[in-house]
Amino acid sequence: MRSLALFGFTLCVCLFGSEARIYGRCEFARALANLGVPRNQIPTWTCIAQKESNFDTAARNWSSGDHGILQISQIYWCTEGGGPGKGCNTECWRFRDADIVNDVRCAQKVYNEHTRLSGDGFNAWTTYKYCRGDMSQWIQGCF
């Protein structure tokens, strides 16, 4: 019976994508750099990720409908249970797995749209109020 339960868990993981993970501060900052995020934005993104999700890719805010390490909103940017769609053309659950490539790409899209609208793309995240100004301490010792 135990092996059957283990098989079920393994099957579930295989069918529903990679497991979530919790990043370290520097690990997340380096991942952003590897994905081509401008170096001057990495400290702010790192602060936002810590404040939004504590670097947990599985984070979900049931009240607001935000998903993943950067808390992408299902109101405008991802679709919950209805196939790809909305601004990032992605299903919301994809922001809650270990792969942060789509999270970062979508966050950049959100950032660019809010830069166009307000002049500061980080304004899209409510936690930005804690991440303004010199955030260099967020990447200290990481590179």
Q: Over the stretch 116-133, which tens digit does the pLDDT of each residue have?
A: 999 999 999 999 999 999
What sign has the CA pseudo-torsion 60, 100, 53, 24?
A: positive
Give the residue numbers annotated as catalytic, written as ranges. 52, 66
- pLDDT by residue (tens digit) across 23-68? 999 999 999 999 999 999 999 999 999 999 999 999 999 999 999 9
CA distance 106 to 108: 5
Claim: this prediction has a pTM higher than 0.95: no
- pLDDT by residue (tens digit) across 78-105? 998 877 779 999 999 999 999 999 999 9
Domain boundaries, the chain: 20-139
According to the model, what pLDDT value does residue 17 have? 53
Number of neighbours of residue 79 by Cβ within 10 angstroms: 18
DSSP 86-137: TTTT-BGGGGGSS--HHHHHHHHHHHHHHHHHHS-GGGGSGGGGGS-S--GG
Phi and psi for 61 in degrees, rounded to 5?
-105, 105
CA distance 75 to 80: 9
Position of tokens 């952003």? Answer: 32
In CATH, the number for domain 20-139 is: 1.10.530.10
Please give the C-alpha separations between residue 143 and each of 17, 79, 81, 99, in angstroms, as whole numbers.
30, 35, 39, 21
